[in-house]
């Protein structure tokens, strides 16, 4: 790991994500306090922690044929269960297309277009049922 970067761990990821709570939802947004989308939240958190190779742009609002999942597979490490500071890939409308950051207290932090901002709430049965697969940042032990 580059010595100039701060240590990346679950706590720092979660803290960075919590710092974005309330940021408005903007499609393809990447800036805390201005606008992020669900992927943008994760990208901002990664950049904030010095992991600057996690972005893709120019994608549409509706996922195109597993492209999103392919990017996640390429950039992140898939794990069998949610891990604090990890990322949950979630299914809406029959296709995985939403990501959220899992915390250390069984909640998720994510940018939702439905509520128009970044929110944190419990991973209840409904949200849990939407989880398609789980990832963690490779840099996190």
Partner 1 sequence: MASVVLGVAGAAVGFAFGGVAGAQAGWMIGSTIGGVMDAPKGQHIEGQKLADLRVQVSTYGKAMPQVFGKMRVSGNVIWAAPLIQTAHTQAVQGGGKGGGGGATQTTYTYSANFAVSLVNHQIDAIYRIWADGLLIYNSAAGDTTTISVSGGTAGQAAITGSITTYLGTETQMPDALMESYIGAGSVPAYRGQAYVVFNNLQLAHFGNRLPNIEVEIVREPKNTSDFRNKIKAIHIIPGAGEACYNTTRLTKVMQNAAALFQGTGVITTITRNSNTVEPRADVLVALDQLQATCPNLQWVSLVACWFGDSTDAGLCTIKPRVDFPQAIGAIDFQENFDAATAANLNAAQTATANTTPNLYAWSVGTWTRANTPVAALVNGVPAYGGSPSDLSVIELATELKRRGLKVMFYPLIFMETPTKPWRGRIVPANATDAANWFTKPNGYNAFITHYSTLTALTSQIDAFVVGSEYVGMTSFMSAPGVFPAVTGFANLAATVRAQLPANVKTVYAADWSEYHHATGGWFNMDELFANVNLDIVGIDNYMPVTPDLDQSQITPALVQQYWAKGEGWVTIGTTRHFRDSATCQPIQSPPRLAAPPSLSTWRDSTPSRWLAIR
Compute the radius of gyration of the chain from its Cα atoms: 14
**Rounded to the nearest whole angstrom, what is the least distance from the CB of residue 86 to partner 1 in the complex?**
17
Report helix angle 10-18 to 38-48, nearest 10. 120
Nearer to partner 1, 24 or 116 (CB): 116
Tokens of 130: 């939407």
CA distances from 120 to 19, 82, 123 (A): 11, 16, 9
Nearer to partner 1, 5 or 122 (CB): 122
**Binding footprint of partner 1, residue count (CB under 8 A):** 17
**Rounded to the nearest whole angstrom, what is the least distance from the CB of residue 113 to partner 1 in the complex?**
10
Of residues 95 through 134, those in contact with partner 1 by CB under 8 A are 103, 105, 107, 112, 114-116, 119-127
2 binds partner 1 (CB under 8 A): no
Residue pair 34/42 in contact (Cβ under 8 Å)? The answer is no
Of residues 3 through 62, those in contact with partner 1 by CB under 8 A are 21
């Amino acid at each position: 790991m580059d010595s100039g970067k701060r240590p990346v761990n679950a706590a720092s990821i979660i803290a960075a994500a919590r710092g974005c709570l309330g940021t408005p939802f903007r499609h393809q947004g990447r800036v805390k306090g201005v606008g992020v989308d669900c992927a943008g939240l994760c990208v901002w958190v990664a950049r904030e922690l010095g992991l600057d190779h996690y972005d893709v742009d120019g994608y549409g609002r509706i996922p195109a044929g597993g492209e999103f999942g392919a990017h996640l597979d390429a950039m992140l490490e898939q794990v069998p269960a949610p891990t604090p500071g990890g990322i949950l890939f979630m299914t809406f409308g029959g296709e995985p297309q939403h990501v959220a950051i899992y915390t250390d207290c069984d909640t998720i932090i994510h940018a939702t277009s439905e509520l128009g901002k970044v929110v944190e709430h419990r991973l209840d049965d409904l949200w849990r049922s939407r989880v398609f697969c789980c990832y963690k940042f490779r840099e996190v032990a």
